[in-house]
A and B are shown apart, each in its own frame.
Chain A
Amino acid sequence: MLYAQFIVNGLITGAYISLVAAGFLLIYATNKFAHFAHGSVVAAGAYIVYTLFNILGFNFYISAALAVVLTGCLGVVLFKFIYTRLQERKASSAILLIASLALMILIDNVLLALFGPNVRTFGLLSAQKGLAFWGISITPLQIIIIVSSAFLLLAVWLFVRYSKLGKLMRAVADNPELAGTTGINAKRIQTYSFFIGSALAGVAAVLIGLEQNVTPHMGTNLIIKGFAGAVVGGIHSLPGAVLGSFILGLAENLGIIWLPSGYKEAITFVLLLIFLIVRPQGILGINRGVR
């Protein structure tokens, strides 16, 4: 029974991580650099909801929808004003990675300066009593989170696989030059993927903010987890990234059965290091000369 509870907790963690990982991966696949500020975009999204709903008093659903759109726009702004300019200067992916780390510190600290270090909550749903069955306790909200993220991820997967834009995105991800020769505007597709990836971050922000605390530094933790999930599962494959995220969520929550709970974070990093070194293409990824 103990195990069952840890597995459920692992699935909830996995659901969060996979939303972050999926957005990160959409951006990574078409742009070929690690956008580390993605987690901070989630944090910004959560504060947008907080501002609209708690401070300005909008209806929650309107706030959430607006936040998703605004978060998507934030991603596009970062892409247009920072990354594109760097790319025009022929910056390598290493420089873009460093720039994304700088953006992450920038966004985190702007949030900290604006909203202060205090923990915020949306306070939409007060703490609910968990439903207990078979000795497992799970709140209705957590069920909503798992189910809605599962639906969303399925929708993203169908979109990438079958829609016109999804196919264009995959073409650019596969080979931007070749896609360019067939008349695809790679830059435009990359902008779209920044919008969609960051809008996914907005959805993650709404769901995470419903259940957990909102803090200015929440993004750091989220991107580390999301990135690790994407690497473990395969950084070129959407189902892989989702699988990796759930593996990570389960490993973290099952690991603390044997390890002191403080090591929960370390489990992620150790898994990340092992995969980067032993199988950098991830579980479902294809080796494309990463080493």
Chain B
Amino acid sequence: MLINYLLHTGITIGYFTILIVSLNLALGYTGILNLGHVAFFAIGAYTSAILTGMGMPFLLAFACSAIVAGFFGFLLTALTARLKGDYVALATLGFSFVAISVITNWRSLTRGPYGIAGIQKPEIFGWEVVASSDYFVLTTCVAVISVYKIYRIVNSRYGTLLEAVRDDAIGLLALGKNIYKLKYQAMMISAAFAGIAGSLFAHYITYIHPTNFFLADIILMLSIVIVGGLASVRGSVVATALLILLTESIRFVDLPSSILGPSRLIIYALVLLVILMYRPRGLFGRIDLP
């Protein structure tokens, strides 16, 4: 029983790490105040669920979820690249609502509020990932590779360029760099990784519905990124593990479920507020919010 619970927590930490580190790429490194990340996560989850439902092999659907989410990353940047400051936050927040609203209402594709049930467990070259332990291995592998990839990106020359978009866009323009191209690329990479996380999530819980992806999840993701610190891969990884462990362990507190559900979100909101007020750079952050 305990081992299953630990595996569940491990898997949650796995796909959340991908989600948070990729959000940090857009939010912390590139300085795009993106509140649409939950939409990319949902798009990835639905893409993978729908395609495998049509008989596509897991690996191909997994790749498609990254591509489709990446495409929407491109689309959202096309809409918002020229907006400033909190208007970006508002437009991307609006995008999240539109995406969730379309998922809820496009019944012929997404089965609307009923959600998609019976999503297949992945099969990779004959390895049937059904048991929790196998799924834990898969998620951990994907998470490690994703974090490593993003770590390499942000610590390369290219990562320095992305940080320059955040710190001194005009200076970068003067040097003849195309800041819009960099923004597009950062958002597409970030969205693609969120799509991958979505696919892992969908095939793990095998039943997704629109309420899996909501406003509260945006707060949850923002809390984790800010607790870990902007522009810090290490911070995001540590904060994801800490906060997921914290909320998963709340289950063991002896409270009626009517209190337990809200209290999880109350804790997240309070953590975020306290961090914003007393330690705005989080655990390992190097910069302030744009």
Contacts and interface: CB of A to CB of B under 8 A. Distances in A.
Interface of A: 33-34, 82, 85-86, 89, 91-95, 97-99, 101-103, 105-106, 108-110, 112-113, 116-117, 220, 224, 227-228, 231, 260, 262-263, 265-266, 269-270, 272-273, 276-277, 280, 289-291
Q: Can you list the 9 inter-chain pairs with the closest CB atoms, starting with the nearest?
A: A109-B262, A106-B269, A262-B105, A266-B101, A113-B262, A269-B98, A112-B262, A102-B272, A276-B91
A260 B273 CA distance: 39
B215 interface: yes
B155 interface: no
Contact of A273 (B94, B219, B263, B288): B94
Contact of A98 (B216, B258, B272, B288): B272
A105 B268 contact: yes
B277 A117 contact: no
B98 A106 contact: no
B149 interface: no
A85 B276 CA distance: 10
Contacts of A34: 86, 90
Contacts of A263: 101, 105
A227 B91 CA distance: 12
Contacts of B265: 105-106, 108-109
A260 B277 CA distance: 44
Given A34-B90, A92-B290, A102-B272, A266 B218 contact: no
Interface of B: 33, 79-80, 82-87, 89-91, 94-95, 97-98, 101-102, 104-105, 112, 215-216, 218-219, 222-223, 226, 258-259, 261-263, 265-266, 268-270, 272-273, 276-277, 280, 288-290
B171 to A, nearest CB: 20
Contacts of A231: 90
29 contacts: A33-B86, A34-B86, A82-B273, A89-B280, A92-B288, A94-B290, A95-B280, A98-B222, A98-B226, A99-B272, A101-B215, A102-B272, A102-B276, A105-B216, A106-B270, A106-B273, A109-B266, A112-B261, A113-B262, A113-B266, A224-B97, A227-B90, A262-B112, A265-B97, A266-B98, A269-B94, A269-B98, A273-B94, A277-B83
Nearest to B222: A98
Given A101-B219, A263-B101, A280 B269 contact: no
A86 B84 contact: no
Contacts of B266: 105-106, 109-110, 113
Contacts of A227: 90
Nearest to A217: B215
A224 to B, nearest CB: 7
A108 B277 CA distance: 21
A99 B101 contact: no
Contacts of B226: 98
Contacts of A291: 82-84, 87
Contact of B86 (A93, A117, A273): A93
Nearest to A114: B262
A102 B84 contact: no
B280 A269 contact: no
Given A34-B86, A102-B272, A280-B83, A273 B222 contact: no
Contact of B258 (A86, A92, A117, A224): A117
Residue of A102, A260, A289 contacting most chain B CB atoms (<10 Å): A102
A109 to B, nearest CB: 4
Residue of B222, B270, B288 contacting most chain A CB atoms (<10 Å): B288
Contacts of A262: 104-105, 112
B145 to A, nearest CB: 30
Given A262-B112, A265-B101, A290-B87, A98 B276 contact: yes
Contacts of A116: 258
A260 B91 contact: no
A105 B258 contact: no
Nearest to A265: B101
Contacts of B105: 260, 262-263, 266
Contact of A97 (B86, B263, B268): B86
Contact of B289 (A95, A260, A272): A95
B102 A266 contact: yes
A82 B79 contact: no
A109 B258 CA distance: 11
A33 B85 CA distance: 11
Contacts of B280: 89, 91, 95
Contacts of A98: 89, 222, 226, 272, 276, 289
A103 B276 contact: no
A95 B273 CA distance: 10
